[in-house]
Amino acid sequence: YSVHDFEDAIVNGFVDTRQLATRVNHEELVDRMLEWVGAEFSRDELVAAFDRLDDLETRISSFDDSRRDQAQLKNLTSKLIGRFAVAAARATRDAHPGPLGRFSGSVVVPRSVQAEIAVLKGTVSAFVMSVAERQPLYREQRQLMIELCEALLERGPSSLDKAFADDWRSADSDADRKRVVVDQVASLTDRAAVARHREMVE
């Protein structure tokens, strides 16, 4: 999600790619990233992660919504997702060499990858999420998500898509069932989430 949020922020004109590429106000940007991620990562870790992402051949230094730039952005998005997924898959296999199932293992994400994801999240936060004018919208969206999760959790598998209903039935605890609900909601598009909320809550 961090990759697609970053992509959406660029497409919608919120993130200034030239500013990122030339590192204008870079220190201020890192400060705002730190505010977003809290004490989970040090400044040095975020700077190093930013440098790694900035060194990627697929990075973009401008975006004017041309077909060329759209293609370059899609290429960057694909490369980032692949980069993160491959690193996590390798680390998970190293930690769990045996067979893995939904509830029989846990995904291992290398700290370096976590830091790179934090940079993407922090960048979106600095350019989009922390903008005061947008806070009422985010509060409204957050409340909608909470209400939808509560409704799905109360109604159980009958309200879930088949794959998630199957996961619910195989879950062993309330915590596992809550996770199924979160996965279901996360799979929805914005429009689908609003429609499902309207159907179940309003």
pLDDT interval class at 32 (50, 70, 90): confident
Whether 94 and 108 have beta carbons less than 8 Å apart is answered as yes
N- to C-terminal Cα distance for the chain? Answer: 27
Checking if the pLDDT of 133 tops 80, the result is no
Residue 54 burial (CB count, 10 A): 13
Tokens of 115: 């830091």
Mean pLDDT of the chain, nearest integer: 89
What is the C-alpha to C-alpha distance for residues 170 and 168, in angstroms, rounded to an integer?
5
Concatenated DSSP letters of 49-91: HHHHHHT-TT--S---S-HHHHHHHHHHHHHHHHHHHHHHHHH
What is the C-alpha to C-alpha distance for residues 186 and 124, in angstroms, rounded to an integer?
19
What are 152-173's pLDDT values in tens digits? 999 999 999 999 999 999 999 9
What are 110-123's pLDDT values in tens digits? 999 999 999 999 99
> How distant, in Å, are the alpha carbons of 142, 155, 159, 164 from that of 171?
26, 15, 16, 10
What's the pLDDT score for residue 102?
A: 64
pLDDT interval class at 74 (50, 70, 90): very high
Half-sphere exposure of 107 (CA within 13 A, CB side): 11
Whether 88 and 107 have beta carbons less than 8 Å apart is answered as yes
Mean pLDDT of 20-29: 81
Residue 39, Cβ density class (10 Å: 0-12 exposed, 13-18 middle, ≥19 buried): exposed
* Polymer length in residues for the chain: 202
Residue that is written with structure tokens 């898959």 in the block: 89
